[in-house]
A and B are shown apart, each in its own frame.
Chain A
Amino acid sequence: MKRKILVVGETREGKIRSVSFEAISAGKTIAQGGEVIGVLAGSSISPLAVELIHFGADRVIIIEDKKLEQYTSDGYAQALTAVMEQEQPDGIVLGHTALGKDLSPRMAVKWDAGLVSDAISVKEENGEIVFTRPIYSGKAFEKVIVESKVILATIRPNNITPLEKNEQRSGAVTSIVVPIADLRTVIQEVVRKAAGGVDLAEAKVVVAGGRGVKSKEGFEPLQKLANILGGAVGASRGACDADYCDYSLQIGQTGKVITPDLYIACGISGAIQHLAGMSNSKVIVAINKDPEADIFKIADYGIVGDLFEVVPLLTEEFKKIKEKSV
């Protein structure tokens, strides 16, 4: 069955987030040869529209409005509803990001639809669109189908392969004007805390610290290693509870569940609740003084040693390689 699918594009610091390209790829699978329409809302976003097309969107609809410059639940709900009413799509795909998590359930109620949150794969099986998603923070998985007329899904960053970028692809970019009514929630201020500008959920490399990091300052060598790898820093519950770092960095069943290409666990023992948050990472490296630590049971590579010795050594090694390749 051919379907018409909307994909909500997201921007961060003037660029389209990679999860949006992954969402186009998921949208293609759901569309089954139908149409994938990118939707971009914001202010001065039209130059970005063509990127969605290069990554596979058939066309793009943009909604330019000063009131949409920052994401608000109400503003985006109004904008997306207007697009929905115009296009009458068979589905919507969003990233499972702060925006997607906030907006998708509201759209599901508006369109009386089933919503699959946090999908890590989308496949067509015997005519059905089958989503796979983690439950119990990745301790198990479920396959889900949507039985409502409209299919809604959010996809987890880093799991679905985007289409190859192709600048030869072309498609129409149209804009619609949506009168954005008064917003019931108003953003007064945004405080940027995310270290190094790399989002933990989307980072390809995560360097995480546990109780073994011992202090706030103890995270500095980890941050240096993350910086050289273009990655983000995370933490275990132990480190957050001990106030070594902000709760927004916590990885685990309470906290963020992430699947980077490379996870480097430093001074983390590997409690079940932490493993739930990271054990589906592609490659896991464990650095711990205790050779009996549970983290070694799931690590692809382990170094038994003091993280304060090992982490700077790794940073130096990666630095050398970087310098060579320049």
Chain B
Amino acid sequence: MNIFVLLKRTFDTEEKISIVNGRIEEAEAEFIINPYDEYAIEEAIKLRDKHNGEVTVLTVGSEESEKQLRTALAMGADQAVLIQIEDQLEETDQFTIAKIITDYLKDKKLDLILAGNVAIDGGSGQIGPRVAEGLGIPCVTAITNITVTNKDALITRDVEGDSELIRTFLPILATCQQGLNEPRYPSLPGIMKARKKPLTKLDLDDLGLEEDDVWPKTKTIEIFLPPQKTAGKILEGDLPYQATELVRLLRSEAKVI
């Protein structure tokens, strides 16, 4: 099985966000593999171990993303591809990234593409389905289970808490939801091995793409922080009194009930 995993480098979930000169400040932040993409890497490794083949992790980003790719290699992926755009593109959107990935993948021999259901920074969840549509292959979003027999895939998909059992045929693209698996931590030998695994760096020229081909179709005009929430009222008295008082406040003061 030839499996590609789409990976994104994101802020750690415990990071606070601040804005400097209209942009999200990245200087002090810790970066991780987008948690949903970790499910994708884990599932890809498991499927490869079962069916043989190769796992390639792919990201579009900057030099810094090499660290997250190496982590994926240390988990067990076979090779990595980094498409570097930081010198060529100032602004990107989901169209830009999906177009670059689609163009890279369009002539590759592949059986399965796994991606995260959503990235915890941008949060659009567009890249996976966009790439599938661009490649003309089926897409199944938010999967919590997948079994593959020859070219048959049986997939469980999360639909707002309900689950759907879906039968389809490879090649497909699937986006991974929580509950799919428990991503492994890289082992020490894994980390050692990862240093020697192939990591290919490409840029837009290598893909035959011009800046105009990937010009974003949306534009961010402002980034702002939500108003700071301040601590409200801590109720007092014995608990039955507090319960009565809370219900009264929710009805008469907050007016939400």
Contact = CB atoms under 8 A, between A and B. Distances in A.
B222 A143 contact: yes
Interface residues of A, number: 95
A299 B133 contact: no
Contacts of B17: 136, 139-140
Interface string B5-41: 0000001011111010000100000000001100000
A194 B162 contact: yes
Interface string A301-323: 11111000110011011100100
Contact of A285 (B169, B216, B224, B250): B250
Nearest to A316: B243
B19 A140 contact: yes
A300 to B, nearest CB: 4
Given A101-B125, A143-B220, A254-B35, A189 B257 contact: no
Nearest to B243: A313
Contact of B163 (A115, A147, A191, A261): A191
B178 A250 contact: yes
A116 interface: yes
Query: Which of the listed residues B36, B134, B226 has the most CB atoms from chain A within 10 Å of its own CB?
Result: B226
Contacts of A118: 123-124
A326 interface: no
Interface in A69-108: 73-74, 97-98, 101-102, 104-106, 108
A297 interface: yes
Contacts of A45: none
Interface in A188-207: 188-195, 199-201, 205
A283 B225 CA distance: 19
Contact of A300 (B11, B134, B220, B233): B233
Nearest to B177: A247
Interface in B192-250: 216-226, 229-235, 239-240, 242-244, 246-247, 249-250
Contact of A280 (B126, B138, B166, B226): B226
B161 interface: yes
B188 interface: no
A142 B225 contact: no
B120 A254 contact: yes
Interface in A108-155: 108-110, 112-118, 130, 133-148
Q: Is the interface of A mostly helix, strand, loop or mixed?
A: mixed
B163 A184 contact: no
A317 B243 contact: yes
B138 A262 contact: no
Contact of B239 (A130, A133, A313): A313
Contacts of A193: 161-163
Given A136-B11, A262-B256, A301-B232, A283 B250 contact: yes
B132 interface: yes
B76 interface: no
A91 to B, nearest CB: 13
Given A145-B221, A314-B246, A254 B13 contact: yes
Contacts of A246: 161, 179
A276 B11 CA distance: 13
Given A109-B130, A282-B256, A317-B244, A194 B226 contact: no
B107 interface: no
Nearest to A263: B256
Contact of B165 (A189, A301, A316): A189
Interface of A: 73-74, 97-98, 101-102, 104-106, 108-110, 112-118, 130, 133-148, 184-195, 199-201, 205, 229, 240, 246-250, 252-255, 257, 261-262, 271-273, 276, 279-280, 282-285, 291, 296-305, 309-310, 313-314, 316-318, 321
24 contacts: A98-B158, A98-B160, A102-B141, A109-B133, A114-B93, A114-B218, A130-B221, A134-B123, A139-B16, A139-B17, A139-B225, A140-B19, A144-B219, A145-B218, A185-B172, A191-B162, A247-B144, A298-B230, A301-B246, A302-B232, A303-B246, A316-B243, A317-B244, A321-B251
